[in-house]
Amino acid sequence: MEIWINPRCGKCRTALTELDAAGVEYTVRRYLEDTPTVAELEQVLERLGLEPWDITRTDEQVAKDLGMKDWPREAGERARWIAAMAEHPVLIQRPIITADDGHAVVARTPEALKSVLPQGA
């Protein structure tokens, strides 16, 4: 299991605490320092079953500077969104957990986080 975090993010810290409490083994990726590639973002989006605009933090200053709220949200624009996230990782919603079974979630809610924990944890 891997979790993409920003250590300053409260939801990321909560997710780490819950993973530790459940005794889950995981790898931490500080995605602002270890920036995901376009290919990695495409893989994670596929595992999440989401589109890039679904995991983009459009309230970040860089998103405002790029005018992302006005970008089309359609298949032909996916590459543009993914490229922006690869270039500016602060745009990526967090925490993202990819489980060994192929399941992935944006663990911003207790329900999403629980979905990647072992049963009974």
Evaluate whether 42 touches 18 at the Cβ level (below 8 Å). Answer: no
- Using the structure block, give the residue that is written with the tokens 């399941």: 103
- Taking the C-alpha atoms of residue 29 and residue 34, their distance in angstroms, rounded to an integer, is 7
Which residues are identified as catalytic? 9
User: Helices 38-48 and 78-87 meet at what angle, rounded to 10?
Assistant: 120
Q: Which of 37, 25, 23, 10 is nearest to 95 (CA)?
A: 10
